[in-house]
């Protein structure tokens, strides 16, 4: 498996679970991955039962043009039965990787989050079509992404599996807290316009309650968001905490009484999953999300959903949680149960192994 996402230590639990299921697994990751949210260096947190190696990456941060220059030599030495490129099919890295996998006789798959129908210019369109032909099974992170694959002509088997789940033994409820003096609200993720943190600030500013907002993450919007908080007169109530290591996230959720993901759809993006939601839910923190993309399907009836860009509706949900501790408790417990039923790392690994087996993998190999 090649995955830039697996530079994040918490995500490596999926690899451990695959190994526990009997897969002889090697995971190759870059030294770091940087994008508009900041730079995530490679972590080594969950490494039992499989091989995790760092290999060079060219054009780090360029989503379409990055690639791994030594991957050919790696695959020639490993000779895998199955090759999992944890990357979109229209990128150079995936085209080079699946071509090389075919040369060493490996059955190959790719992963896609792309839940908006988009046509790409050459040469990316040709790369995408070639990758469709090379992969008899594709893994889509949500139902919309699977539908996009079909619309664009992919004819193979589609396995709809979120890229990662959570380990409920790590992301678990914290110690019981007394009645808080203030409602502690949280957000985690990129500080980018499409993430809607400005909307969250405006919603919080109108609350009829004592509250504090804790924002974990990086991004180009942070100065504007800090300025907006001051303009709204709530600067003292908002803490920008910066990026948190994945191993620190459970402790972050344990400080919260509510977690909000206020994403807004753009022409070229809508929320693809919202993994921070299932992390918070696993910690029994009540969640509120917009109706952008996959968010309502992730939350189900275990949280509150509002129409994106509607600050008044978000404020009403926050006011409801501020006024009713029993509702916070009920939604928190419901969120934990929904994660246990659908989104554990063990379940994601089992579904991923089933996809490998449909590709013709032999037992004990991957």
CATH number where 262 lies: 3.40.50.2000
Examine residue 171 and state whether it is found in any structural domain, yes or no.
no
Residues 6+ apart with CB under 8 A from 106: 75, 79, 80, 81, 82, 83
Query: Strand pairing of 157-160 and 137-140?
Result: parallel
Distance CA 24, CA 164 (A): 19
- How many Cβ atoms from other residues are within 10 Å of residue 50's Cβ? 20
Residues 147 and 196 in one domain: no
Residues 320 and 351 in one domain: no
Examine residue 173 and state whether it is found in any structural domain, yes or no.
no
Question: Treating both helix axes as pointing N-terminal to C-terminal, what angle do 13-20 and 345-358 enclose, rounded to 10 degrees?
Answer: 60
- Confidence (pTM): 0.91
- How many Cβ atoms from other residues are within 10 Å of residue 351's Cβ? 15
Distance CA 129, CA 132 (A): 5
Query: How is residue 126 annotated by DSSP?
Result: H
Examine residue 80 and state whether it is found in any structural domain, yes or no.
yes
| Residue 315 Cα to chain centre, angstroms | 25
Residues 153 and 291 in one domain: no
Name the pLDDT band for 35 (thresholds 50, 70, 90).
confident
Examine residue 69 and state whether it is found in any structural domain, yes or no.
yes
* Model confidence pLDDT, tens digit, residues 262-281: 999 999 999 999 999 999 99
What pLDDT was estimated at residue 130?
97
Distance CA 2, CA 322 (A): 44
Residues 227 and 124 in one domain: no
Residues 261 and 319 in one domain: yes
* Model confidence pLDDT, tens digit, residues 101-136: 999 999 999 999 999 999 999 999 999 999 999 999
Distance CA 34, CA 88 (A): 17
Residues 271 and 258 in one domain: yes
Residues 139 and 193 in one domain: no
Residues 10 and 122 in one domain: yes
For residue 5, with 0-12 CB atoms within 10 Å meaning exposed, 13-18 middle and 19 or more buried, which class applies?
middle
Structural domain containing residue 290 = 183-342
Examine residue 217 and state whether it is found in any structural domain, yes or no.
yes
Sheet of 157-160, strands arranged across: 82-85, 107-112, 137-140, 157-160
Distance CA 15, CA 46 (A): 8
Tally of structural domains, the chain: 2
The candidate with the shortest Cα–Cα distance to 274, out of 295, 248, 245, 253, is: 295
Residues 95 and 130 in one domain: yes
Average pLDDT, the chain: 95
Examine residue 223 and state whether it is found in any structural domain, yes or no.
yes
- How many Cβ atoms from other residues are within 10 Å of residue 119's Cβ? 9
The candidate with the shortest Cα–Cα distance to 188, out of 266, 140, 251, 230, is: 251
Residues 159 and 216 in one domain: no
Examine residue 191 and state whether it is found in any structural domain, yes or no.
yes
Residue 91 has pLDDT above 60, yes or no: yes
Examine residue 176 and state whether it is found in any structural domain, yes or no.
no
Residue 7 has pLDDT above 80, yes or no: yes
| Residue 268 Cα to chain centre, angstroms | 18
**Helix (H/G/I), strand (E/B), else coil: 213:** strand
What pLDDT was estimated at residue 178?
67
Residues 100 and 227 in one domain: no
Residues 14 and 101 in one domain: yes
Distance CA 312, CA 116 (A): 28
């Amino acid at each position: 498996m090649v995955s830039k996402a697996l530079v994040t230590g918490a995500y490596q639990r999926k690899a451990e679970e695959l190994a526990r299921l009997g897969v002889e697994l090697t995971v190759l990751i870059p030294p770091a991955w940087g994008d508009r949210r900041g730079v995530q260096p490679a972590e080594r947190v969950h490494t039992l039962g499989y091989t995790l190696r760092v290999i060079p990456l060219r054009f780090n941060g360029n989503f379409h043009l990055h690639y791994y220059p030594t991957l050919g030599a790696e695959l020639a030495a490993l000779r895998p039965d199955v090759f999992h490129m944890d990357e979109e099919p229209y990128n150079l890295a995936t085209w080079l990787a699946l071509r090389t996998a075919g040369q060493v006789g490996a059955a190959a798959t790719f992963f896609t989050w792309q839940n908006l129908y988009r046509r790409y210019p050459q040469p990316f369109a040709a790369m995408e079509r070639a990758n469709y032909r090379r992969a008899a099974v594709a893994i889509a992170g949500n139902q919309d992404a699977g539908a996009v694959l079909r619309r664009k002509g992919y004819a193979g088997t589609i396995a709809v599996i979120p890229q990662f789940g959570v380990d409920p033994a790590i992301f678990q409820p914290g110690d019981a807290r007394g009645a808080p003096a203030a409602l502690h609200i949280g957000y985690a993720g990129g500080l980018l316009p499409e993430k809607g943190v400005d909307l969250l600030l405006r919603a919080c500013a109108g609350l009829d309650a004592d509250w504090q907002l804790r924002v974990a993450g990086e991004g180009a919007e942070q100065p504007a968001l800090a300025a907006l908080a001051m303009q709204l007169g709530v600067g003292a109530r908002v803490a920008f905490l910066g990026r948190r290591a994945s191993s620190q996230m459970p402790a972050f959720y344990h400080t919260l009484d509510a977690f909000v993901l206020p994403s807004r759809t753009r022409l070229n993006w809508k929320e693809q999953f919202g993994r921070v939601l299932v992390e918070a839910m696993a910690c029994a923190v009540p969640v509120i999300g917009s109706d952008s993309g996959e968010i309502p399907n992730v939350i189900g009836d275990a949280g509150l959903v509002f129409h994106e860009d509607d600050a008044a509706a978000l404020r009403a949900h926050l006011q409801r949680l501020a006024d009713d501790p029993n509702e916070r408790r009920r939604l928190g417990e419901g969120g934990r149960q929904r994660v246990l039923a659908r989104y554990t790392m063990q379940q994601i690994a089992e579904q991923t192994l089933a996809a490998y087996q449909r590709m013709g993998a032999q037992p004990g190999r991957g």
